[in-house]
Amino acid sequence: MAEITMKNIVKRYGDGYPAVNDVSLDIKDGEFMILVGPSGCGKSTLLRMIVGLEDITSGELRIGGKVVNRVAPRERNLSMVFQNYALYPHLTVFENIAFPLRLAKTPDDEVRRRVNETAELLELTDHLERKPANLSGGQRQRVAMGRAIVREANAFLFDEPLSNLDAKLRGQMRTEISRLQRRLGVTTVYVTHDQTEAMTLGDRVAVLRKGVLQQVGSPRELYEQPSNLFVAGFIGSPSMNFLPATVDGTVLDTPLGRFDVGDRRKVEAVGDRSLVLVGIRPEHFEDASLVGDERRERGSVLRVHVDVTEWLGNELYAYIPYEAPADVAAQLRELSQELDSDQMRTQAVVALDASSLISPGDEAELWIDTSRIHLFDPATGENLTRDEERVAALGRLADKEREAQRRVQRGTPSESGGTAASGAESDGAEAAAG
Ligand SMILES: Nc1ncnc2c1ncn2[C@@H]1O[C@H](COP(=O)(O)OP(=O)(O)OP(=O)(O)O)[C@@H](O)[C@H]1O
Ligand SMILES: [Mg+2]
């Protein structure tokens, strides 16, 4: 087991384009790190440099404290699972899992012991004598995982290992990978562009854009305190809405109407900018008729014209088109393309309670939780309202959660008495109230 440290890592392919550009990232021993970003942002390239399948153009890569830039892949002792994992069709499940041990000329009885242990962990014990062709997709994926974890590797590296599976199986495998990683406690780097995997699997998530690292933090931090427009738009589904606005005291004038943000600190961050982008997540709107007086006072109410609605059972999406200045509209369109989003950017999406009776064509009153909005610099994309104190609190919460999760997986009770899981819940409540 080992920590992985990257310092100013650059990868230029033949044509000189930096596929990975000056990435510095510290992955702690035992940590589960997720790499996300749109297609082509350099995720696989970074992973392949860590394993040693790709040369590092410049910068320094350390594994377990040792510089490994020039160390051969074999000697790095890392285990990798690809999207297109290949099992050997003529070998049994047992021999497929045993393969890396056979390569390393491991004695027979040790092979047997290790393969049996691994199979136990992955619930493959009953299938050890079968051939891959006779297995389900999920079982095959587990065999590929078994082959990766049977070796005592310093770290596991996964490149979109679940993307060939159907949605249900993906959900199951996701939970299994998470449980397994926590139990084994092996440093893991996991590449995905699946929102749910990114948010649920890792201790921390690193967001890449065109080879450049944008932000590294716990899922909660990325969602709640994104450092820029790109991260704000990339994390969360449906994406955060960005409305152009001018600022007048604590009042924002947006294409959906004027509303008071209440918080002077937020507007002070705007300085003398004449235009900002207001970021509001769909779930921070509500049908105003469903909001009690007390909550209503903690936000603002807007009258809008609803175009289309979608009732999903657990919530209701409403779409609200608006006019934006041409240059802002062009910028939002560009961002939307880069985020691989098919959302039209001059249309707000709001997620309301499923009991809402708002219908297409309605003039509706929407409540906004103004405490949750962010203001962005339209020129640089910087989040002007990121709350550093809150970021620090979320970091502490993430550390506690990580400990609690590992205790649960290893079946050890928490020090404070009670179960580890209830400990994590109360910490969550504390941070949520902060
Ligand atoms: N062998 C290569 N030669 C030249 N350019 C390459 C090579 N491999 C990748 N690239 C380029 O480097 C950039 C990053 O590619 P990479 O495969 O790391 O992206 P990715 O984030 O893994 O994308 P995806 O989500 O589609 O797998 C892309 O612009 C790609 O075209
Ligand atoms: Mg890739």
Domain boundary among 160, 195, 223: 223
Region of poorest pLDDT, from 10-19, 60-69, 144-153: 144-153
Chain center to CA of 129: 37
Two tokens, residue 238: 């449906």
- Indicate if 375 and 394 belong to the same structural domain: no
Per-residue pLDDT tens for 246-282? 998 899 999 999 999 888 888 888 988 888 999 999 9
| 116 located within any domain | yes
The reply to whether ligand 1 has any atom less than 6 angstroms from the CB of 277 is no
- Indicate if 316 and 414 belong to the same structural domain: no
- 1: confidence class by pLDDT, cuts 50, 70, 90: low
| 26 located within any domain | yes
Q: What is the mean pLDDT of residues 423-427?
A: 39
Q: What is the mean pLDDT of residues 56-76?
A: 95
| 335 located within any domain | yes
Ligand nearest to the CA of 13: 1
| 229 located within any domain | no
Q: What is the domain count for the chain?
A: 3
What's the CA gap between 103 and 80, in Å, rounded?
16
| 196 located within any domain | yes
| 217 located within any domain | yes
Domain boundary among 163, 195, 223: 223
- Indicate if 372 and 401 belong to the same structural domain: no
Contacts of 347 (CB under 8 A, 6+ apart): 307, 319, 320, 321, 322
Two tokens, residue 240: 């955060």
| 231 located within any domain | no
Q: Which residue pairs, CB below 8 angstroms and at least 24 apart, start in 325-332?
A: 325/244, 328/244, 328/275, 328/277, 328/378, 331/378, 332/242
Q: Which atom of ligand 1 is nearest to the CA of 160?
A: 27
- Indicate if 29 and 175 belong to the same structural domain: yes
- Indicate if 60 and 187 belong to the same structural domain: yes
C-alpha dihedral sign at 392, 398, 401, 407: negative
Per-residue pLDDT tens for 412-424? 665 554 444 443 3
State which amino acid sits at residue 59. G
- Indicate if 86 and 119 belong to the same structural domain: yes
Q: Which residue pairs, CB below 8 angstroms and at least 24 apart, start in 177-184?
A: 177/145, 177/201, 178/32, 179/409, 180/121, 180/122, 180/145, 180/149, 181/32, 181/156, 182/32, 182/405, 182/406, 182/408, 182/409, 182/410, 183/121, 183/409, 183/410, 184/149
Q: Which residue's CA is the closest to the ligand 1 atom numbered 3?
A: 13
- Indicate if 206 and 257 belong to the same structural domain: no
- Indicate if 260 and 371 belong to the same structural domain: yes
- Indicate if 20 and 166 belong to the same structural domain: yes
Domain boundary among 166, 190, 223: 223
What CATH number is given to the structural domain containing 365? Answer: 2.40.50.140
Could you list the residue range(s) of the whole structural domain that residue 417 is in?
A: 389-433
- Indicate if 372 and 328 belong to the same structural domain: yes
| 341 compared with 45, residue with greater pLDDT | 45
| 73 located within any domain | yes
What CATH number is given to the structural domain containing 95? Answer: 3.40.50.300
Question: What is residue 340's predicted lDDT score, i.e. its pLDDT?
Answer: 66
- Indicate if 412 and 357 belong to the same structural domain: no
Alpha helices in 77-194 (DSSP H): 93-103, 108-121, 137-149, 167-184
The reply to whether ligand 1 has any atom less than 6 angstroms from the CB of 416 is no
Question: What is residue 432's predicted lDDT score, i.e. its pLDDT?
Answer: 42
What's the CA gap between 117 and 125, in Å, rounded?
9
186 CA distance to ligand 1 middle (Å): 27
- Indicate if 322 and 368 belong to the same structural domain: yes
